[in-house]
Amino acid sequence: MSWCTIESDPGVFTELIQQMQVKGVQVEELYSLDLDSLRSLWPVYGLIFLFKWRPGEKDDRLVIKDPNPNLFFASQVINNACATQAILSILMNCPDIDIGPELSKLKEFTKNFPPELKGLAINNSDAIRAAHNSFARPEPFVPEEQKAAAKDDDVYHFISYIPVDGVLYELDGLKEGPISLGQCPAGQGEMEWLRMVQPVIQERIEKYAKSEIRFNLMAVIKNRKEMYTAELKELQRKRERILQQLQQLATLQSDKTNFEALNKQLTEVNAGIEGATEKILMEEEKFKKWRTENIRRKHNYIPFLFNFLKLLAEKKQLKPLIEKAKQKSSSS
């Protein structure tokens, strides 16, 4: 069975990750490479970059033929699966992510495999393929497996950027191995690799800027709602402690200065609770929107369109509409 093409969209990628039984992760689209934008999404597990692929383009950078054994790198042996493979390149290389039973078994099974066999193992994974193909769009005339990119078709490719064991890597399944982008200096926090990857991605964008504007950059990050929920619970516990202290001070008729300081803290905590609650609601609304969009992506509208056209034909309205469209097309 072939693999369908899927849309480069954070809602699609987030649901795809969830269907692979990965927990606590979501994908967000980046519109800027500035550190403030990246910092607002911290912790960032990895970046996925989409660009227009150009066959025969030279890349003189050194490819690592014998990579770090802790680095999961798979060759792309599947048509149309580069988006899923780019996602897997991040999920399989981040120890902080709960990748679930299916991907854990795959990672353990393939740990001593060369990149080509890792790619074949992904291809043979029914669970991964089913999750990927759940976004297949109905094709009324040409089955997906019979479609092939023509010479003049635009072909897009996904690559991943991720730090592993103190080294920043570019992972591209079409290359023979990973590319090291340098050591991530120790002691400078998890933002350092994002500072390092900025000029790399910017250079690639500028390289194509004169002829191509269709780029897409997405970050695989920790689930925001889970983070804000944990933050909310901690603030609620802090409020309870402050209220207890205020009650004790009122009973003891203690120093007024302490009472005012605690009231100030309480005001700040209440504001924090309000902010965290608002952020949780925003995340819930965003995920609801993503679910609705994904349902529409997957829905088969063809029977509806077929019956609608049939109804127009029965009412003698189809042919006039076709003629009107032809006239409009020829005049423009």
How much is the mean pLDDT over the chain?
85
**Nearest-angstrom CA–CA distance, 47 and 204:** 14
* Interval 113-142 mean pLDDT: 86
Count of all residues that appear for the chain in the document: 332
pLDDT at 202: 87
Closest by CA to 28, choosing from 287, 201, 203, is 287
pLDDT at 20: 94
**Band of pLDDT at residue 171, cut at 50, 70 and 90:** very high
Q: What percent of the chain has pLDDT over 90?
A: 43
Closest by CA to 172, choosing from 47, 32, 31, is 47
Whether the predicted pLDDT of 143 surpasses 70: no
Between 128 and 137, the more confident residue is 128
What pTM does this model have?
A: 0.84
Whether the predicted pLDDT of 284 surpasses 70: yes
Whether the predicted pLDDT of 299 surpasses 60: yes
* Interval 307-320 mean pLDDT: 87
Catalytic status, residue 82: yes
* Interval 198-209 mean pLDDT: 82
* Interval 62-75 mean pLDDT: 86
pLDDT at 53: 67
In the block, residue with structure tokens 């609770």: 273
Whether the predicted pLDDT of 188 surpasses 50: no
Catalytic status, residue 157: yes
Marked catalytic residue, from 82, 94, 132, 184: 82
Closest by CA to 208, choosing from 32, 34, 50, is 50
* Interval 49-64 mean pLDDT: 77
**What is the side-by-side strand order in the sheet with 44-52?**
25-30, 216-222, 44-52, 156-164, 167-171, 179-183
Residue by residue, DSSP assigns 166-216 as TEEEEE-TTSSS-EEEEE--TTS-TTHHHHHHHHHHHHHHHHHTTT----E
**Nearest-angstrom CA–CA distance, 220 and 45:** 6
**Nearest-angstrom CA–CA distance, 133 and 152:** 25
**Band of pLDDT at residue 187, cut at 50, 70 and 90:** very low
Q: What does the pLDDT look like over 6-28, one tens digit per residue? A: 888 999 999 999 999 999 999 99
**Nearest-angstrom CA–CA distance, 81 and 163:** 23
pLDDT at 48: 94
**Nearest-angstrom CA–CA distance, 264 and 60:** 60
Whether the predicted pLDDT of 46 surpasses 50: yes
